[in-house]
Structure 1
Amino acid sequence: MLQKSFTDGSRLTVLHLVQPVEGGVARVVTDLVAAQVRAGLRSVVACPPDGPLAAAARTAGARVCSWPAERSPGPRLAREVLTAGRLVRACAPDVIHAHSSKAGLAGRLAVRGRVPTVFQPHAWSFEALEGRAAGLARAWERFGARWSDRILCVSESERLAGQRAGITAPWSVIHNGIDLGRFRPAREDAAASARASLPLPEAVPPGVPLVVCVGRLCRQKGQDVLLRAWRTAAVGGARLVLVGDGPYGDELRRAAPPGVLFAGASADVRPWIHAADLLVGPSRWEGMALAPLEAMACGTPVLLTDVNGARESLPPGQLSHCLVPPDDPPALAAALTALLGDPALRAGLGVTAQSRARSVFDVTRTAAAVLCLYEELVGMSRPTTRKRTER
């Protein structure tokens, strides 16, 4: 159970500054504020008004404020920083929780240690960049760490990546969690029913393996690598479905071989997970992806690339079967061939994955750990960032 308030009975106010507003970041924030509202906290979400997060956070019980911010740094950054500062003054939070690189940039520039600040990268920005841009991103993160009372990573490997980049900060590692009440194994007859009800242009016949990839259609998620692997894997008549949309959608459709279906974005991915024989996460970089955890909790086996969070997600005994190097189509094709050719292996992997997800990745445990972190920071007589800047 979450602790509901400070020891003196006052109500803790948390301002979540968020950009982007879709995908895994939005789901993490929505689950977190829902748990915080249930625990009696005052949760405020400041984010761009377009996109699913604003409505989802409002439904979860948070107060939602408009923060018009672009996804990447640009000429509007100064205005975004000023707007963030005004929101902080109006909200008067006890803690600021900045989610992802853009909100971390604007939020820390706006506050500069005057309010206890948690920065959660949700995957490091410099891992998405190359050359000079990557160097600038690393330099900013090293500099911005002085205005972070805590950098919150969702996996130990994400924390180590930050340390290797030269970021010196007070760290916490709290794994992503999922709603185990929503993501549960399907009944015996439900998988067939889910498959029959999928919104696909053509039916997937019974007995034909169905492979599902859930994620935004973008470079990070690596669907192009999966399509290259699919061309060479010995998958028989298996079908591959990409669930999601994004900037790479048209390019991926042009590159897709026969047997690949595009389902578009889905507000509820559970039918896809229940219908799948295997979920594939071919990402190039992550912090700790949510879709594999959701699939594991439902008893669906997963095949992942060895990016941050993947090894910590999988049961230790599955690494040889279910983990391949990122950006390596031949290795991914070989793993697909092995798993799709062995139904008994997939079934065993699904059982073990379900046990691990349900014992380790409960969102209520995640939310409780985050609340303890907030209370630790607010309980300090003077935040660590202010001590550093006053020297």
Structure 2
Amino acid sequence: MKFGLSFLPDAAPDNKSASDYYRDALDMSVLADAAGLSTIKITEHYGMAYGGYCPDPLMFLVAVAQKTRQVRLMTGCLLPTFHHPVQLASRIAMADVLTNGRLDVGFARAFLPAEFDMLGIDLDESHTRFDATVAAIADLLTHGVASAETPFFSYQDVHLLPPPVQRPHPPLWAAAARSRSSFARAGERGLNLLTAFTIQSDQHLTEQIAIYQEARQDAGHAGRGRVTMLIPLFVHTDDRVARERGMAHLRRYHATWADASTSWRNRSSRAYPGYTDLHRQLEALSAQDVFENGSLVFGDPERVRDHIARLTETFDIDQILWNVDFGAMGREDAISSLSLFLERCLDHNDKTDQAAIRSEVERCEAQNVRLPRPARHMT
């Protein structure tokens, strides 16, 4: 099992400045790279506290690349429905060059009516726009010269510059969260799968992943596809404190998510069955319910290690990306939690650069952040 970090900013200027958010996320990315984690991921949103600090995941990931050496960099996700494929494919290729071929590209359909309204996009067209744009982007990245004719865009013999480093293109992923059709469509397209274990049972998610893999096989794609799961993480030396603080941060995250979803009030779309009044569904989902569902990893290092073992036994997945900054989490809690995870919840091997981890922890401590002292295996 591989591990990485997932960022979905849910902060706003009244509770955390953008400069503080980016500083903390970049510092955590450097810590993750030093510890040998696999991936850093961030998603795209607009105009609200829910994700609004990252309107451009590619720009953030290029910044991470300048401070790291080996960690993969994933958009999780870009929203192709809101972009022209020539522009987005060109920016993806440029980011792949600037990250020296470390880019993974995740796509999502978008789900907030407020964002569609901001950009003048018809909510009911989300499926067809998404499919057309992703196919056009893959074509441009693969062949370098491409043409397209759709109801949404058209072009002839466009030359993509710069060419991406990775051939035929960076690994492509699709997000699926709620519906069976989303998992099936990801498999049919031959994309890798990005999903979350926060709002559904382990049995339901296991069934959805099986649907993805069956659809992928039925469509004739080679291999089973890679599956990455997103899970909130909070670690503290005191198990009770870990649960209390983690739940407090999660409640703030859920409130921000529910507020962003109020644009679903009395609204419906044939492209989003079951989403009407989504904010009420989220308001009714308590943090305690989610915790009891087993989809949160909050606790002391021993409990976290045990929980990871259970997740590994339950799900046939390749990677977990930990949500480590939910609830506009303050710097001290976020970096302390991550440092404990890196030092005491992982089985370090000889390839892990322990000196680099210690150096980064000390750098954060020098910025007035109290962190746990290194575990014995680091000395």
Q: Same fold (TM over 0.5)?
A: no
- The structure that has the greater radius of gyration is 1
* Higher relative contact order, structure no. (Cα contacts within 8 Å, ≥ 6 residues apart): 2
How does the TM-score come out when normalised to structure 2?
Answer: 0.36
How does the TM-score come out when normalised to structure 1?
Answer: 0.35
